[in-house]
Amino acid sequence: MLGWLSRLVLDKRAREALKRPAPGVSARPKAAASRPRERDPATALAEAEERMKRLPPEKAQLIRSAMLVHRARQSVLAELSDDERARLEQVARKALLGGG
């Protein structure tokens, strides 16, 4: 059934892309790939900004705006007490799961 569903939703190029491995990815995992490389936040941010320079300006600005919104939401959530966080999680589950 999954094949039928993929034919319904995906076009031919997308189905072929799912079948073949991504470029530069070998079939065997490397030993270094098993553990993620540790980076400090400043290095990660510098790398992200470097990648952003290759994007169209409109898209880069949209991503920067989304990152600002994400940081603002995270800071608001970090300020919640454990009780408030538990109540928020309960409300979210009710909204998403229909009362479950």
Angle between helices 41-52 and 57-78 (to 10 degrees): 150
Short-list 95, 67, 89, 65, CA closest to 77: 89
User: Cα separation of 37 and 31, whole Å?
Assistant: 12
The residue behind tokens 């705006």 is: 65
| 87-99 per-position pLDDT tens digit | 999 999 999 988 6
Q: pLDDT by residue (tens digit) across 29-72?
A: 555 555 667 888 889 888 888 888 898 999 989 988 998 999 99
8 token code pair: 């319904």
